[in-house]
Structure 1
């Protein structure tokens, strides 16, 4: 299979999936290294494909456009990350990203796409590695999340539950 055929197939696979696919799975599927997949994704993005790289793998961005979104401001220390994210998914939301405002670099965004307990478990495993620090450590705990849900009522419920726990910056 040629490189261009492989890239077409990667697009087809990503378009057909509602959940992210990790690079190593794609590499295995096509019999190439993970680095080749990273390069393929970079080339596809350069051609205009809207592929997001999340902590759970690659996903087409249009897969997230069927939901309503709200950006919420939060503040807590790193020990409360799991509970904060768990609260969002427990009440029917998906945490699309985390955003912090850096004094030098401006807005820094990390794509999370956490919508299930399994996604959260994977994220927490990665974030508990020794050398990894969450973005909120750059801003004394202040951060934004883009939350997605099926409707505004679910978003309001999630926001209420986060407020009750003291996670919202108000």
Structure 2
């Protein structure tokens, strides 16, 4: 298969998938190296395709966003247990955590797409942090960070906000 055809099939596969696909899996499907896939993704993005990279893999967001509510929360916590509790509170109550954002004093706004939509995703995220001995991005800003949260409607979002307020995580 030539490069042009592989990129067309890669685009189609990402558009049709209901979940992220890892670079390793894509490399296996197309029988190329993971680095070739990374290059293909970069070229497809340069052509204007909205491909999101997450720890779970690559995906293209659904176009039908009229039934989705999205807003940002400002949160603060200090421990891995609090981080895990925050994430689980959001997903257990109908939210999807799209990203984490910190406002660093030197680098400015730093944003990472985390795409956590289930208890399993949250637990795997925490395990990856611990397994790699990595600190959360919020450690750069004394625990203060933002999350873009996606829910089916504003009422669901407001319910999440109330639960996070009760737990003392939200900065109001």
Place the TM-score, normalised by the shorter chain, in its bin.
over 0.9
Contact 1:97 1:109 in 2 (8 A): yes
Cα separation, 2, equivalents of 1:52 and 1:119: 16
CA–CA distance in 2 between the matches of 1:134 and 1:143?
A: 10
User: CA shift at 1:163, angstroms?
Assistant: 0.7
Partner of residue 74, structure 2: 73
| Residues 95 and 113, structure 1, Cα contact 8 Å, conserved in 2 | yes
1:52 matched residue in structure 2: 52
Task: Specify the alignment match of 1:118 in structure 2.
Answer: 120
Question: What corresponds to 1:141 in structure 2?
Answer: 143
CA-CA distance at 1:62 after TM superposition? 3.7
Q: CA shift at 1:89, angstroms?
A: 0.5
Quick one: distance in 1 between partners of 2:91 and 2:64?
Answer: 15
Distance in 1, Cα, partners of 2:125 & 2:8: 29
Q: Distance in 1 between matches of 2:64 and 2:38?
A: 22
The answer on whether the counterparts of 1:78 and 1:137 sit within 8 Å (CA) in structure 2 is no
Give distance in 2, aligned partners of 1:13 and 1:46: 18
Count of residue pairs the alignment pairs up: 170
Q: How does 1:79-158 map to 2 (within 5 A)?
A: 79=80, 80-158=82-160
State the superposition RMSD in angstroms.
Answer: 1.4
How far apart are residue 119 of structure 1 and its match?
A: 1.5
Structure 1 residue runs of 4 or more that deviate by more than 4 Å after TM superposition: none
Aligned-pair CA distance for 1:131 = 3.9
| Mapped contact 1:78–1:134 kept (Cα < 8 A) | no
| Partner in structure 2 of residue 14 of structure 1 | 14
Q: Deviations over 1:75-101 (max 9, x none)?
A: 001321111111100001100000000
CA distance in 2, matches of 1:78, 1:154: 26
Q: Distance in 2 between matches of 1:25 and 1:137?
A: 32
CA distance in 2, matches of 1:64, 1:121: 28
Q: Deviation per CA, 1:129-166: give whole Å up to 9, x if none.
A: 24422110100000000000000010000111111111
Q: Secondary structure at the match of 1:128?
A: helix
